[in-house]
Amino acid sequence: MKKIIITIDGWSSTGKSTLAKQLAKALKYLYVDSGAMYRAITLYFLRNHVDWTDKQDVKKALKQINIEFQTNAKTHTSDVYLNGENVEYVIRDMVVAEKVSEVAAIREVREFAVAQQKRMGEPKGIIMDGRDIGTVVFPHAELKIFMTADSSVRVERRFKEMFDKNPNITIEEVKANLEMRDYIDSHREVSPLRPAKNSISLDNTNLTQKEQFQKAMEWADKKITGT
C-alpha cells in the first residue's frame, strides 16, 4: 500500500499529539513529536546554562546534542532521548514550557531540528506534529492538517494535563503560558505558525476524540487510495 506523509500543525493544546498517535497506530506509521525536540534542546540549554542570546554559545551547545526517538514498550509510542537519557517526562515540566518558545524561535536551533526531521521523513509512512511541519519540514506532504480549538477549551485541557503532575499549578499560570507561547510561535521571524498551503483545518472545540479521528482517517484513506 502507498505510504504517505501526514503533517499536523496548530496551536498549543489543540490535541495534535493525541490525533497523531491515533492515526499512527491505525496506519502503523511512525509518529514523531517535533515539539519534543525543541523541548529537549531547551532542557539541555537550561541544564548547561547556555546563553541562548549568544549565537556562538548556541552553535557550540547544538554540537553536543543528540536527540533520538525510541519506542516505549509500555505505551507503544515513541519517547524522546537527549544524549541517551529518556527525557519524555521531564520535558513536559513548566520550567521547560516557560522557555521553549524562546528557544524554538532561534534560527540555528530550527535548522538543527528541521534537518533531522526531514531525514526521519525520507522513508514516508510518518506522522509528524508541530508548528511548521506542513509549511517548512514537509511542504509536499500528501495530507496536511491544521488544528484549532477555542482558547478556553485549550486552557482547560492543558490545565488537567499539568495538574496531574503538579497539583500546585493554577489555571491562570497555564493560561498565561499558553497565550505567551501562541504569541511567540505565531509572531517569530523564522517559520512562524501558519496554516500550510493546501492544509485542511480541523476545529475540535466541539468534537470528541473519536469524531476527530474518524474525520482524519477518512482524509488519510482518500490520500492513500487516491480516491
- Rule CB under 6 A: choose which of 5, 14, 20, 35 binds ligand DC: 35
Minimal distance, residue 166 CB to ligand DC, in Å: 16
Judged by CB under 6 A, the residue of 6, 45, 106, 131 near ligand DC is: 131
Q: Is 65 in the site for ligand DC (CB under 6 A)?
A: no
Task: Round to whole Å and give the CA distance between 23 and 19.
Answer: 6
> At residue 215, what is the residue type?
K
Which residue bears the cell 491515533?
A: 22
Applying the rule CB under 6 A, the residues between 69 and 128 that interact with ligand DC are 100-101, 104
Work out whether 181 is an interface residue with ligand DC (CB under 6 A): yes
Q: How far is the CB of 194 from ligand DC (least distance, A)?
A: 12
Q: Between 173 and 224, name the residue whose CB sits nearer to ligand DC.
A: 173
The C-alpha atoms of residue 45 and residue 204 are separated, in whole angstroms, by: 34
Q: Of 23 and 227, which CB lies nearer to ligand DC in the complex structure?
A: 23
Report the residue number, 120 or 224, with the smaller CB distance to ligand DC: 120
The yes or no reply on residue 21 touching ligand DC (CB under 6 A) is no
Three cell numbers written together for 171: 489555571
Q: What is the smallest separation between the CB atom of 131 and ligand DC, expressed in angstroms?
A: 4
Cell of 75: 505505551
Sheet with 143-148: list strands edge to edge: 30-33, 126-130, 5-10, 143-148, 200-203
- 59 Cβ contact list (under 8 Å, min separation 6): 108
| Binding of ligand DC by 142 (CB under 6 A) | no
CA–CA distances in Å: residue 39 to residues 62, 104, 130, 184? 13, 8, 12, 15
* Stretch in the footprint of ligand DC (CB under 6 A) among 32-40, 45-53, 159-167, 203-211: 32-40
Please list the residues that pair with 69 across neighbouring strands: 80
DSSP for 52-99 reads TTSHHHHHHHHTT--EEEEE-TTTSSEEEEETTEE-TTGGGSHHHHTT
User: Can residue 147 be called a binding residue for ligand DC (CB under 6 A)?
Assistant: no
User: CA-to-CA distance for 89 and 79, rounded, in angstroms?
Assistant: 9
Residue 88 near residue 72 (C-beta atoms within 8 A) = yes
Position 134 contacts ligand DC (CB under 6 A):
no
Does residue number 5 form part of the binding site for ligand DC (CB under 6 A)?
Answer: no
Minimum distance from residue 191 beta carbon to ligand DC (Å): 7
Q: Does 34 bind ligand DC (CB under 6 A)?
A: yes
Answer for which of 58, 132, 142, 154 binds ligand DC (CB under 6 A) is 132
Q: Which residues bind ligand DC (CB under 6 A)?
A: 12, 34-35, 38-39, 100-101, 104, 130-133, 181, 185
